[in-house]
Amino acid sequence: MNHKYIYLLPWCVLLLTGVAFAGNPDRQGEAGANQLLINPWARSAGLHTMNTASITGTEAIFLNVAGLSRITKTQIQLGHTRYLSGAGINVNALGFGQRIGKGGTFGFNLIALDLGDFDYTTEDTPGGSGATFSPSFFNMGVSYSHLFANKVSVGVTAKFVNESVSNARASAFAIDAGVQYVTGEKDNFKFGISLRNVGPKMQYRGEGLSKQLPNPGPTFPYDNTYYERAAAFELPSQLNIGMSYDWLLGSVNRLSMVLNFTSNAFSRDQVGGGLEFALGQNFALRTGYKYEFDSNDVEASIDNGLSAGLSVSLPVKKDSDTRIALDYAFRATDIYDGIHNIGIRLEL
């Protein structure tokens, strides 16, 4: 493919996605499966998930899959999130990325919520029957990203979304896609676009929606089984447009600024940015801020405001390309005690 046409790709995607996401305030609140918007990865969470243009590695599968192809060879990542600390909600994540061929990278991730145990109640035992159940909320994705001439990377993720309890379940398939463009004298300007959670509606089905009621006819006194149809709900589709700029401090240190605009199909739009200071490859500090348009204390998203994070990355032995890293992030929330992310990465 001619490289001059590759460089036009981000602007074509921007035009198409901008038309597709023309705002419609009447649709706000119609989406479900909002666990798809919970970021389980500490590095990007430290920047309040505003690094659409510069995110790389396996955690790029969550925000902008185009960044997956910018790993060296192999990356394995584990993440744990205490969501709304004090609420008893945890998120666990696994990510894997592997370079294949000249510019391609294959990736896989699995994100699961741990919501704890709930008392099993019925109409006959509204106070609880002594039994408990635990909802199962997870999504897993398979991704492919390709890097062209170290300037443009594109990627796509196909993922399966599942929500279930003991006797009812909803599931759907969704698509994510993204592009990143790198330019500048030292590749220090980046531009990125990602389109997330595009798929059909989800709808709960199962025996939990059935009910035994008396036969309405006067002839035979027996019960019939009736099935209620649950309302279908949309996936929380989202468009992210971001840019970043790197100031190179000496030969190895870096200060980066990220800016991002998020268009939510079923909630208010958001804008934000952040700063990241990297001391070589070994240490990084991050901070970010996210603002939601036309929000108020009752209807605003729960994690607007400040975020911060850090990373420590060390080679497993002297002069080795294999590195192990520990990441941490905190996001302030108006209620509860914030959101804590911790993760570990192995780069081979």
Give the pLDDT score at 108.
97
The mean pLDDT value for 15-43 works out to: 73
- Predicted confidence at residue 331, as pLDDT, reads 97
What DSSP line would sit under 118-184, residue for residue? EE---SS-TT--S-EE--EEEEEEEEEEEEETTTEEEEEEEEEEEEEETTEEEEEEEEEEEEEEEES
Rounded to an integer, what distance in angstroms lies between the CA atom of residue 202 and that of residue 275?
37
Q: What is the pLDDT of residue 150?
A: 85
Q: What percent of the chain has pLDDT over 70?
A: 89
Please give the average per-residue pLDDT across 136-143, as a whole number.
96
Average confidence (pLDDT) over 63-78: 96
Q: Where are the domains of the chain?
A: 38-200+235-347, 201-234
Distance CA 55, CA 327 (A): 14
Q: What is the CA radius of gyration of the chain?
A: 23
Q: The whole model's pTM is what?
A: 0.89
DSSP 8-class letter at 37: G
Per-residue confidence (pLDDT) for residue 35, from 0 to 100: 94
- Which of 311, 347, 280, 312 is closest to 99 using CA atoms? 347
b/e map 186-223, b = 16+ CB within 10 Å: eeeebbbbbbbbebeebebeeeeeeeeeeeeeeeeeee
- Mean pLDDT is lowest, of 166-180, 222-236, 322-336, for 222-236
Rounded to whole angstroms, how far apart are CA atoms 57 and 105? 10
Burial class of residue 174 in the structure, from the number of CB atoms within 10 Å of its CB (0-12 exposed, 13-18 middle, 19+ buried): buried
Burial class of residue 103, CB neighbours in 10 A (0-12, 13-18, 19+):
middle
CATH architecture assigned to 38-200+235-347: Beta Barrel (2.40)
**Total residue count of the chain as it appears in this document:** 348
55-78: average pLDDT: 96
Reported as a pLDDT band with limits 50, 70 and 90, residue 3 is low
Which pLDDT does position 1 carry in this prediction? 45
Instruction: Find the distance separating the first CA and the last CA of the chain, reported in whole Å.
Output: 30
